[in-house]
Structure 1
Amino acid sequence: MSIASDVIRGHTDTIILAQLMQGDSYGYKINRAIELRTGGEYELKEATLYTAFRRLEQMGCITSYWGDESTGARRRYYSITPTGEQVYYAMLAEWDSSKQLLETLIRPN
């Protein structure tokens, strides 16, 4: 059973920030990590990923920089900021509350 995109869509920013909490990374590597962690059940569309990067950067949650091209293709790396860490923890708390509320509403008495 694949994960419904509609269920995850509202948590794209949280998913990206969670990946960046583990260290700086670039788009393809982040998307690959998501795909691996979900056993291939979920992958962000490229347009969704880069739209989220722009949004998070405008919010001050992440910064970007160009990597060293001597190691291969020139890649844009993303790094979480202190603001991004605060936003991540707030989103995580919101997720925990939402998950608990949904469990209450969906599970039979």
Structure 2
Amino acid sequence: MSIASDLIRGNTDMIILSHLVKRDSYGYEINKSISENTNYELELKEATLYSAFRRLEAAGMITSYWGDQTTGARRRYYTITPAGRGYYEQSVNEWRKAKQLIDRFVQ
């Protein structure tokens, strides 16, 4: 069963931030984690992922830095900011409220 892309599109930032709340990470690792945690039912396109990174960074929700290249390719890591944590918590609360409301109709 495919999940409607509109449903996911509105929650891409929250999904990315949910990973960064746990630890700093780079794009490929974040996308791999999303895929694995959803049993490969959700995989963000690279363009979607990196445009979300740019949007979140411009909004002050995340910052980025270059990792150590001694372990292979040089990677750009992303870290969540205090503003990003606040936005993430607000988004989770809004998601839970919306889910409760929608559940009233689909049960």
- Which TM-score tier does this pair reach, normalised by the shorter chain? over 0.9
Q: Which runs of 5+ in 2 are unaligned?
A: none
* TM-score normalized with structure 1 length: 0.94
Q: Which runs of 5+ in 1 are unaligned?
A: none
- Structure 1 residue runs of 4 or more that deviate by more than 3 Å after TM superposition: none
- How far has the Cα of 1:3 moved from its partner? 2.4
Paired residues, what number?
A: 107
2:43 counterpart of 1:43: yes
Q: Which residue of 1 aligns with 2:14?
A: 14
Partner SS for 2:104: helix
Q: C-alpha deviations, 1:10-38, integer Å up to 9, x for none?
A: 00000000000110000000000000000
1:2 aligned partner, one-letter code = S
- Quote the Cα distance in structure 2 between the aligned partners of 1:45 and 1:87: 23
- Quote the Cα distance in structure 2 between the aligned partners of 1:25 and 1:61: 14
- Quote the Cα distance in structure 1 between the aligned partners of 2:90 and 2:81: 14
1:105 aligned partner, one-letter code = F
- Quote the Cα distance in structure 1 between the aligned partners of 2:55 and 2:105: 32
- Quote the Cα distance in structure 2 between the aligned partners of 1:5 and 1:72: 34
User: 1:1-109 residue pairs with structure 2 within 5 A?
Assistant: 1-107=1-107
Partner SS for 1:19: helix
Report sequence identity in percent: 61
* TM-score normalized with structure 2 length: 0.96
- How far has the Cα of 1:61 moved from its partner? 0.6
- Quote the Cα distance in structure 2 between the aligned partners of 1:2 and 1:10: 16
Partner SS for 1:98: helix
- Over the aligned positions, Cα root-mean-square deviation in angstroms equals 0.9
1:60 aligned partner, one-letter code = G
